[in-house]
Structure 1
Amino acid sequence: MSIDNLQQWLTTPLGIYLQEQEQVLFDQAVHDIFGFNAMQFGMLEMNLLHNSRIPYKFNAGISAGALQCESHKLPLPESTLDLILMPHTLDFSEHPHQTLREAARVMVPEGHIIISGFNPLSSWGIRRLASESGTYPWDANFLSLMRVKDWLALLDFEIVDSSMTCHMPPFKSASWLGRYSMVERLGARLWPMMGGVYFVVAKKRVLGMRLIKPAWKGSRLKANLLPTPTQRTDTQKQHEQ
């Protein structure tokens, strides 16, 4: 499987619908994440870092992008990236767990990873069961949100946010997609965990690491640097007399 083979499918009405829904989520998530280096791996048809304020941003993929490699073999030093975007990268990785391990390796402490993927517990998951082998995107891994969260926890990631999108059934024609636009709004409210795509934001934690913060609650200097008067005990008064 290769995420690059999705390019043709993304031009279909259903592929365009997916891009529109995910673009909104990525734009909102990356805006308030800071650092120096950010990477988007896969889905290079979408500019998911354009709303990021991180100064150095680059794309990576199996056969496209500034960096070309497998997602589970990143040729980067440890603790290099502050932000990693993986739109459906786990879906089309032959080693999805190792892909996450590589992301954790090259990420700095307190760095963020943002992941999207197909939800098997949805109408999209049912559509996958009815599809022929080798058809995109239905031959993706379709990992459950719970499994992805478990993998992230094992790698010492803290879940910052998670949600679902693409609640509309995966119809092929644009007319059906337009007719059922209301389903998307109702689905997000009535069956939020049944969306066709999950979305996760996680932060890398390092065991034993403690951030040093200023002691804002320390005592303030007294006016004119005068010493604070103290009460004298009866014994002290007798000695003075």
Structure 2
Amino acid sequence: MLKPALSESTAKAPISWQQLAHGEWLRQQVCHVMAPFSDRIFGYHMARVGHLAKAVDLPDIRVKHQFSVAPQGQVDVRAEPTQWPFAEHALDAILQVGQLEFERDPHQFLRELTHSLIADGYLLYVGFNPLSPALLTGFWPSHLRQAPWSGRYFTKARIRDWLSLLNFEVVEHGYFAPTLLIEKLDPPDRGLQSLFKLLPKCGAMYYIVARKREYPLTLVKARKQSKARIATLPVANRTGDELC
């Protein structure tokens, strides 16, 4: 049974990659996996949600104004992700990395992202994978209050369900970064590359590339069929609505 998404209390999201075990390696993994999609994104405004997203290098994104958003710290805009100060349809793209896991109300968090995106705008989502063996290392007493284990994990399938309810179309998704998040392991993915090829779900992180869709209320095909039916009716049998 899934636990409720709404939480009474939350932990603080990391303010730098250095707070995570092998943080710089993880940051490079995010840059690598997001690079193939970055050249699709263009426009005027892009928000990077959280401190981790702020440090992700994506030089191929063709967006003139990119800015970081977080509740605290050295960012361009200080705001709660569940109470954004941005107007509807104001952003062309949003990059979110490891922030949802530390939100009290993740549903409201995603709704705010949805409202601020333009139609066909991109959401680049990166989260921590609860199906990864790295989750087990979080049970060590010294790790319980450290990021990312101090946050809450949501599966990729659950996030995809939430996004589908918000009229997002998932374009690409996958797992990456096979590691146990143990600092003593060098390299971080030692012994896990072969396992990752057989079981991709063991990656410590996952990504979702989604586009916001706004479908018309009346399908074009249905309207054509309606007009064809009206044309076959005698004029005396047509109602005022059908003649409009």
Shorter-chain TM-score: which interval? Answer: 0.7 to 0.9
How much does 1:109 deviate? 0.4
* Secondary structure, counterpart of 1:208 in structure 2: coil
Determine the structure 2 residue equivalent to 1:54: 63
Amino acid at match of 1:113: L
How much does 1:118 deviate? 0.7
Measure the CA separation in 2 of the matches of 1:207 and 1:86. Answer: 25
Measure the CA separation in 2 of the matches of 1:28 and 1:141. Answer: 28
Determine the structure 2 residue equivalent to 1:159: 170
Contact 1:110–1:205 (CA under 8 A) maintained in structure 2: yes
Shift in CA distance, 112/209, structure 1 to aligned 2, threshold 3 Å = farther
Measure the CA separation in 2 of the matches of 1:32 and 1:16. Answer: 25
2:19 to 9, 31, 37: 9
Give the unaligned 5+ runs of structure 2.
1-10, 221-244
How much does 1:87 deviate? 0.5
Shift in CA distance, 179/101, structure 1 to aligned 2, threshold 3 Å = closer
2:30 to 19, 22, 36: 22
Quick check: which has more Rg, 1 or 2? 1
1:142-195 Cα deviation digits (max 9, x unpaired): 11111100100010001000011111222212xx222854633x3442111221
Measure the CA separation in 1 of the matches of 2:86 and 2:198. Answer: 43
Determine the structure 1 residue equivalent to 2:156: 145
Equivalent residue pairs, number: 207
Contact 1:31–1:52 (CA under 8 A) maintained in structure 2: yes
How much does 1:27 deviate? 2.6
Contact 2:27–2:56 (CA under 8 A) maintained in structure 1: no
Contact 1:119–1:196 (CA under 8 A) maintained in structure 2: yes
How much does 1:46 deviate? 1.2
Contact 1:26–1:48 (CA under 8 A) maintained in structure 2: no
* Secondary structure, counterpart of 1:38 in structure 2: strand
* Secondary structure, counterpart of 1:91 in structure 2: helix
Give the unaligned 5+ runs of structure 1.
213-241
How much does 1:70 deviate? 0.9
Determine the structure 1 residue equivalent to 2:239: none
Q: Provide TM-score, normalisation by structure 2.
A: 0.77
1:23-72 Cα deviation digits (max 9, x unpaired): 11223322221222111011156134433111121111111311111111
1:120 maps to 2:103: no
Amino acid at match of 1:108: I
How much does 1:5 deviate? 4.5
1:85 maps to 2:85: no
Measure the CA separation in 1 of the matches of 2:120 and 2:178. Answer: 32
Shift in CA distance, 52/179, structure 1 to aligned 2, threshold 3 Å = closer
Determine the structure 1 residue equivalent to 2:237: none
* Secondary structure, counterpart of 1:115 in structure 2: strand
Contact 2:98–2:127 (CA under 8 A) maintained in structure 1: yes
Contact 1:7–1:45 (CA under 8 A) maintained in structure 2: no
1:108 maps to 2:118: yes
Amino acid at match of 1:149: R
Q: Provide TM-score, normalisation by structure 1.
A: 0.78
Shift in CA distance, 179/15, structure 1 to aligned 2, threshold 3 Å = closer
Shift in CA distance, 66/207, structure 1 to aligned 2, threshold 3 Å = same
Contact 2:48–2:54 (CA under 8 A) maintained in structure 1: no
Q: How many percent identity over aligned positions?
A: 26
Measure the CA separation in 2 of the matches of 1:179 and 1:5. Answer: 21
Range with greater deviation from structure 2 (50-59 or 129-138):
129-138
Measure the CA separation in 1 of the matches of 2:59 and 2:171. Answer: 21
* Secondary structure, counterpart of 2:101 in structure 1: coil
